[in-house]
Chain A
Amino acid sequence: MARWRRRVRGAAALPEAVAALSRALPAAPSPETFRRAKFDRPEAAAALWSLLARVLSALPAPAVPASLGPEARWVKAALRAQGYQRRALWELPEDGSRGSRELLLALSWLLARGPLLEQLLAQTRVQLGDRMPAFQCELPARPGPAAPSVAPEGPLDVRLVQWLMGTLRLRWQGLMCSQQEHAALLSKIHMFTRGCHGDCSLHHLSVVETEALRDPESGRQLLQALESENARLEAAMHWRGSQLVYWQWLDTILDICPAGAPTPASPPACLPRIPKRGVDEWELLERDLQGLQEELREAAEPRRAAWEARVDGQGQGPQWSRSRQAVREAVSQALASLQQSWEEGGIPAQPLGPHRLVRSEDGMLSSQGLRATEVISLLRSQEACLEALLCQLQEQCRRELARLAGTLPGLVWIPAPGR
């Protein structure tokens, strides 16, 4: 009796788990889709193709270009980029008419591999606060020669290039202007709503909150968004608790799959195309590295020899060893800071997640979160690094141009006057 009751409970747990999963996923596919997929029914295929497309486009790198044609082809390429290797998936037709069982397996693979639901939920998170604008940009690993760009079709008029550069500069100026305006207006809102927030650690309202209070319609919409997000979060929690029975069910699906080697015997239909340019760049980089090593060796050896010669003349003794120790420490510190500035651009890893902008009175500093002054000084040091890099690159460009001009006989090179 007890065993029968347990089996019934077990049988009821699966639909609940699947229902929780489908509520937690974006675009909520119906639980029926999952059941149909087990039996590889064609009706479930379309829904699963779009669900996979939706899920894959929300994942972080590696990116697959969007212009790859039908959705099914894109999904295959994206799965391949994520590392999925089941051959049966490549063989599915690209019109999206079949393959629901394979798609279900692919989806479950993504689910099992990483925090998929958490990633998806973080993407569609309802923002209540004002966010700090993202300023991060990646420093190039090494200032090398500019990558050769795509050759233009036909002769290029330098006036067009100047025109486009000017457009870029003006657009950049306009962007800075809008950022300033945005900051000024945000500051006004924060000042005017001081003391209005229920939560004392947030001293004022954000734009979203102010708008919700001002306009009942947007308040309603905000409430709806929050409620639906809550529902998805609850579903995700429920799923977490009950997912074991889902994986057991998937085992049964794998059992009924036709026997096929999971690893591809033949390469899949769409391989990422390694452009020939990439190979050239690689060789260029290698040559650069070798050249740099040579340079370093040539520069370092005479200096080392000279230093050793000087040192040999010095006496030994405790004072000497102490000063040597101090020098060693200073050098290792300088090396460490240099390395850090190369690797991270001087910015320590910022805590994950969005930061809410909060304006507080002096003296009322909360313990958690970043202070604006810290962020500003970090950004300034990054700016200094980038400026130095820019100067270096410009100098390289100038030298390269002068060299090229030298190879053309009869060409008079007049560099533009600096501003």
Chain B
Amino acid sequence: MNQIIINLETPEIKVLEKVGEKDAIAKASKESVFRQISEGKAQFTASSSKAFALIIDGKSLQYALDDDMKKLFLELALGCASVICCRSSPKQKALVTRLVKAGTRKTTLAIGDGANDVGMLQEADIGIGISGVEGMQAVMSSDIAIAQFRFLDRLLLVHGHWCYRRISSMICYFFYKNMTFGFTVFLYEAHTSFSAKPAYNDWFLSLYNVVFTSLPVIALGIFDQDVSARFCLKFPLLYQEGVQNVLFSWRRIIGWMFNGLCSAIIIFFLCTNALDPQAFNKDGKIAEFQILGATMYTCLLWVVNCQMALAVGYLNVVQHICIWGGIGFWYLFLLAYGAMPPKISTTAYKVFVEGLALAPSFWVVTFFVVISALIPYFLYNAIQRRFFPTYHGMLQWIGHEGLSDDPKYCKMLNQRSIRSITVGFTALSLGKNQRWES
């Protein structure tokens, strides 16, 4: 890799230092640094396909960080694949971090293990402290503490990717389930001449987000893993999904909300058309507000929970318990709430035991509505995986097919960007490969 070295060890500066005049030294040093930076920049712009490394020491950094020169310095530094600031003071470390943060408006990460890194750790968006030989100061002022430097790649590539995916999935799913719920209520309102009569019993409404649909979302946020840890490390390009904000784009959010809309429409219209106005059971009884409300709510809970099971690609014991247990809990709740005296349970009094459980149409309608509401998403998913697979989708397929050790597929998937780039992890590893090859 080509190196651009900026230092003040030139003979002219040394002579001036012997003489001892501070102003002259400063002026000459500044000019020298400026010249070296400009030369470096010229080198770098001339050949844009090679990777460069910038090495600057603390003395030169002092001048490079002056207000009139720092923009130039930043441009040079950003164009290089690797920048090394050696012998810099803690304040300079923090200033460099601040310069990069403000100049690029990107998320910066700082890692350090000693007390001299504290300023830098606090300045960066994410500060990672390494606990160990140099004491605990870095750890105490950091956002995340790790034990050894080598754990950084696992932190970023595995946990970073998982965290990003979990948070974006959780938020999208949250919008979806509330959209479904709210829209069924809205559609019912349209049939009550908008008099604000909700479709469900009061306690059903209140407990929807708190009890019936809360645990699966929490389990999603804690446990979801789309790609195993081994694969995250093996295919580091997966991390780009987070960098480029693929999983939380507007398109995805609106897509989930639209899914909620469709589910709500399907639930509402299928339930009302199948159960009204004729009798719904053998005894000629009519499905009035209580029966219809409880049926719609049951369908809603099933749809929302099964959608979760469909959307995540990873179901461990805890998630199974949360999802299926949540649905089972709903039935228990109906029984318990319905058994309470009518003063408390108002419209839900014995609705399950007397009305719903014994009516085959309830079960038939629930089964139908749940499956029908999930078909659009399932279809979309099947088509997307076939024609527009995402990167993590491809990795899942590779894992499933057991082709993770097949060099041809690995090379295909590890293929970097088609455009040539000179910075970052890609350039570093390209440079590394070149060195090995030569």
Same complex for A and B? Answer no
Q: B residues engaging A (CB < 8 A)?
A: none
Interface residues of A (CB under 8 A from B): none
